[in-house]
Amino acid sequence: MVNEDTLLMLLDALKVRLDITWSDEATDSKIKQLLSDSIAWLVQSTGYRDLDYSQNTIERELMFTRVQYAMENMLDDFSKNYKSEIVAMINRAKVRKYNASTQNADTNTSI
């Protein structure tokens, strides 16, 4: 899904967000797994694979929030509490796909 460098960058960003100032292998491994799971969830939910996780986007913030809920074993509450944001994210992904398909169609017809 994402390369190791991106995963480490996200790990560092999330640890800053959560005020985690220590570093141990077990904690880092757990958070990296939750990040990977949440990225997979994001891709599965939207079908959009090309998000730039180095940028502060709404999708990245939602992914970080999902990790926080997962750390507390509260993913059911995440789905309820962020339902409108999840739907909006899915709709943005549909718009991106549509725009990409119309640009490809325009490029193919102008050849």
Mean pLDDT for back-to-back runs of 10 residues, the chain (111 residues) = 90 95 93 96 86 87 96 95 92 88 73 51
79 Cβ contact partners less than 8 Å away, ≥ 6 residues apart? 86
Supply the pLDDT for residue 109.
62
Supply the pLDDT for residue 82.
94
Please give the structure tokens belonging to residue 59: 């999708």
| CB-facing half-sphere around the CA of 14: CA atoms within 13 A | 29
Supply the pLDDT for residue 47.
81
pTM to 2 decimal places: 0.84
How deeply is 22 buried, as exposed, middle or buried, from its count of CB atoms within 10 A (0-12, 13-18, 19+)? Answer: exposed
Supply the pLDDT for residue 110.
54
Supply the pLDDT for residue 64.
97
